[in-house]
A = this chain, B = another copy of it.
Amino acid sequence: MSLPSALLETLSHRLGPRGLLTEGGDLAPYLKEQRGRLTSRAHAVARPDTTETCAAVVRLCAEAGVAIVPQGGNTGLVGGAVAGEGELVLSLDRMTRIRTIDPLNFTLTCDAGCLLAEVQSAATHMGRLFPLSLAAEGSCRIGGVLSTNAGGVGVLRYGPARDLCLGLEVVLPDGRIWDGLRALGKDNTGYALRHLFIGAEGTLGIITGAVLKLFPAPRETATAFCALDALPRVVDLLALARERGGDTVTAFEVLPRMGLEAAIAHLPDGRDPLEAPHPWYALVEMTSARADGGLTELLTATLAEALERGIIADATVAASQDQAASLWALRECLSDAQKPLGGSIKHDVSVPTAQVPAFIEAASAAVLRAMPGIRPCPFGHLGDGNIHFNLTQPEGMDTGAFLDRWAEMNRIVHDIATAMGGSISAEHGIGLFKVEDLARHKGPVEMDMMRAIKAALDPRNTFNPGKILPTA
């Protein structure tokens, strides 16, 4: 089923040649699915350059009964921007204006199509910080970041995208524009509509603009790489770091020996930052806007206390920005570093932070029971209880045969996370790939509420149908 030709003609007229793509080569980047599991089937991509044009496209599609798949940078990992037959992709990639920056108000207002990196850099130029940072920041767009409530490495201190947004502009399924671009620290006038659209993955509205919160620029950073002989101690280390450092603790990542070894092998100048091998590592970062120094001393003293109390076995504090960057590289390359080891079945789960060690232990044992030789490589944002519980294939196993057991492994891991009060998608969302998982892990009460909200705001199910909730 392709799109009605009358609609395409009207859209082409309204959007101009750059605004409507229908040729294969032009379409390719919009149809790509990052995990390589699916191909998007859209025959056209609409690229409005203003909110009003976006609303016009939505109205035209509503009249024609055509469903719309909103798309930011198309960097999502759960198929949330994949279009089905007869659906139109609506890309925000021509709406890239930073509308205003107000450093005294600590806010920035921008089009939804701005790249995350552009927003970061615009804030930096004004002496401010936009703290959201993640691997795809050079290609993901603010509308997608908000629609998926993206996380990254600064969530412990600054919260996810949701916490960094004060106001939204949204095109609704009937083509009306909601101007909720408020730049207010406090506003208790009715229901929290912006929080409904944030994280809704384009199923309730298309975010076209946002007011983002800025912070004072950090003036000092201290980074340490710590070794632990027992995983449960990592929770004590986090608590101690927060007790001693408070808000300065901005990132707290964990990785296993296997991950460190893969990273060392992967990086051209990779080397073990510590002398002896240890089973677990934590990367701790403190930052502060204060100019009166003392952060490195604070981190060093905190780690000395941790060593004395038997919480850590060893640690090194970066003596320069270069050293800090080398430590971070070990963490940041982990997804790539695991590739030479063979197939990897991935999970994006969270549990209460204090439960992470118990979760890793239980889930590792369970997958090993189901598949002897499987190599769990759990790493990630311990500060948020969010672990990328990656499973590397057993040595020598056929990769295809291993990956065929993706759903089985997911089920084992997700059941354990759910039993611990956890989430089956801490960062990446539900999209298309986790729709069935969601229904399985949420109770009927919550599913009913979500369906009721979807029906209330998108009664004809024309916005990203089949994402988050199955199309009935």
Seen from chain A, the residues whose Cβ lies within 8 Å of a Cβ on chain B are: 102-107, 127, 148-149, 151, 155-157, 159-160, 162-163, 172, 176-193, 195-196, 198-200, 204, 215-218, 235-236, 239, 242-248, 288-292, 294, 297-298, 301, 350-355, 381, 383-386, 421-430, 434, 438, 441-443, 445-446, 449-450, 452-457, 468-469
Per the bound structure, the CA–CA distance linking A236 and B351 in Å amounts to 42
Per the bound structure, the CA–CA distance linking A374 and B449 in Å amounts to 49
Minimum CB–CB distance from A378 to chain B (whole Å) comes to 15
Per the bound structure, the CA–CA distance linking A468 and B454 in Å amounts to 22
6 contacting pairs across A/B (C-beta < 8 A) = A102-B354, A149-B192, A163-B163, A189-B438, A246-B247, A455-B456
Contact A192 B186 (CB under 8 A): no
Contact A352 B186 (CB under 8 A): no
* Known contacts A127-B243, A353-B105, A453-B453; is-contact A430 B188 (Cβ 8 Å): yes
Per the bound structure, the CA–CA distance linking A387 and B190 in Å amounts to 19
Minimum CB–CB distance from A126 to chain B (whole Å) comes to 11
Q: CB-CB < 8 A to A384: which residues of B?
A: 184-186
Per the bound structure, the CA–CA distance linking A57 and B215 in Å amounts to 46
Per the bound structure, the CA–CA distance linking A469 and B191 in Å amounts to 10
Minimum CB–CB distance from A303 to chain B (whole Å) comes to 14
Per the bound structure, the CA–CA distance linking A449 and B168 in Å amounts to 14
Q: CB-CB < 8 A to A434: which residues of B?
A: 189
Contact A443 B179 (CB under 8 A): yes
* Known contacts A107-B352, A456-B455; is-contact A190 B430 (Cβ 8 Å): yes
Contacts A185-B350, A292-B294 supplied; 18 other A-B pairs, CB < 8 Å:
A104-B236, A104-B239, A105-B353, A106-B239, A107-B352, A155-B186, A163-B163, A172-B449, A176-B445, A179-B443, A182-B421, A183-B352, A186-B384, A186-B427, A188-B199, A189-B430, A191-B450, A456-B456
